């Protein structure tokens, strides 16, 4: 009974004092031999209880830092395992920042693509020196490079060699190839040696086959005159424009000396030039040759 009472008095002590010394005090009580001594210890415990709750408020709670026997401090976890609100807010802001950075980088890369030359021997910066190539270059027989085609306002004209004259031209002037004449009627590319990619010298006799007048069958009914003046062919679209023609390396293909204009002649089955195609200012004029003098 006394032991139970003593235990109750010990439990009534402040928590910090109780955690530290209650077990030892109980141990001392258990070693008492007489009930008289036990009663004395009970009275002492009651006195201690009053003293701790009235005179020792600084020991009601454990101090912020306690020390071990060798002076090393005890560390207690005062906070909870829940993260601080400020830490959560900072982490959220940082996460949004990183995510926006990644999305912006992806968007920038999508809008600013970089094309790489995947040809053998070429890298991101262009031609790679042979000394830096890992693999040996393949030596192939040299291929004669074809002269570049003149373009009409950036468009590329495709030239198809065919002995048969094309019946009609496609709607898209960019893709319509000018007809190449037969070897007997008109000069071919092999018969001439162009002095420059932009201009070739044709024999004057070849020009004569182009001289004449041409009439288009479109709604405008343009009239075209091809004449020789001096040593050059001249083109005149009646009422529109006039220009000298510069022969190109490709047969039957000429360019205007001034302005953005390109002229292609076509022959019939007998090899006679009977049609002209003029690409000028984004327009295309197709005209057929008519007999008689110029307009």
Partner 1 sequence: MRENFNTYLPLSPATLHILLSLADDELHGYAIMQEVQRQSEGKYKLGPGTLYDNLQKMIDRRLVEELGQRPGDDDPRRRYYRLSSLGRGVLAAEITRLDGVVREGKMRLQAKPRRA
Return residues touching partner 1 (CB under 8 A).
Answer: 17, 20-21, 23-29, 31, 40-41, 44-45, 47-49, 51-52, 56, 59, 63, 67-70
Residue (22 or 246) nearer to partner 1, CB? 22
Residue (42 or 215) nearer to partner 1, CB? 42
For residue 3, the minimal CB distance to partner 1 (Å) is 14
For residue 8, the minimal CB distance to partner 1 (Å) is 14
The CA–CA distances, whole Å, from 240 to 18, 99, 118, 246, 284 equal 114, 62, 47, 19, 13
Residue (70 or 190) nearer to partner 1, CB? 70
Give the closest residue to 4 by CA, choosing from 21, 29, 24.
29
Element (H, E) at 223: strand 223-229
What is the Cα Rg of the chain in Å?
52
Q: Which structure tokens are listed for 252? A: 């039957």
Residue (31 or 112) nearer to partner 1, CB? 31
For residue 78, the minimal CB distance to partner 1 (Å) is 19
For residue 52, the minimal CB distance to partner 1 (Å) is 7
For residue 92, the minimal CB distance to partner 1 (Å) is 44
Residue (24 or 229) nearer to partner 1, CB? 24
Q: Are 213 and 224 in contact (CB under 8 A)?
A: yes
Q: What is the DSSP string of 244-291?
A: EEEE-SSTTEEEESSSSEEEEEEE-TTS-EEEEEEEETTEEEEEEEES
């Amino acid at each position: 009974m006394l032991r139970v009472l003593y235990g109750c008095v010990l439990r009534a002590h402040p928590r910090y004092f109780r955690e530290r010394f209650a077990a030892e005090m109980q141990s001392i009580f258990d070693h008492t031999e007489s009930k008289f001594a036990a009663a004395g210890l009970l009275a002492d415990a009651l006195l201690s209880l009053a003293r701790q709750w009235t005179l020792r408020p600084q020991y009601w709670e454990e101090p912020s830092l306690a020390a071990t026997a060798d002076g090393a401090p005890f560390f207690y976890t005062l906070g909870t395992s829940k993260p601080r609100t400020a830490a959560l807010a900072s982490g959220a802001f940082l996460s949004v920042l990183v995510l926006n950075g990644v999305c912006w980088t992806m968007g920038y890369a999508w809008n600013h693509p970089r094309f790489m030359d995947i040809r053998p021997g070429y890298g991101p910066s262009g031609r790679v020196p042979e000394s830096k190539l890992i693999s040996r270059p393949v030596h192939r027989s040299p291929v004669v490079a074809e002269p570049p085609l003149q373009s009409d306002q950036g468009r590329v004209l495709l030239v198809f060699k065919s002995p048969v004259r094309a019946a009609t031209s496609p709607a898209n002037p960019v893709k319509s190839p000018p007809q190449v004449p037969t070897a007997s009627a008109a000069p071919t590319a092999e018969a001439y040696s162009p002095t420059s990619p932009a201009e070739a010298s044709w024999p004057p006799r070849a020009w004569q086959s182009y001289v004449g007048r041409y009439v288009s069958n479109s709604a405008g009914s343009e009239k075209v005159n091809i004449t020789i003046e001096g040593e050059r062919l001249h083109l005149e679209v009646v009422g529109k424009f006039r220009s000298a023609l510069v022969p190109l390396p490709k047969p039957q293909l000429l360019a205007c000396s001034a302005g953005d204009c390109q002229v292609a002649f076509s022959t019939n089955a007998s090899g006679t030039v009977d049609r002209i195609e003029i690409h000028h200012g984004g327009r295309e004029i197709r005209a057929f040759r008519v007999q008689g003098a110029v307009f």
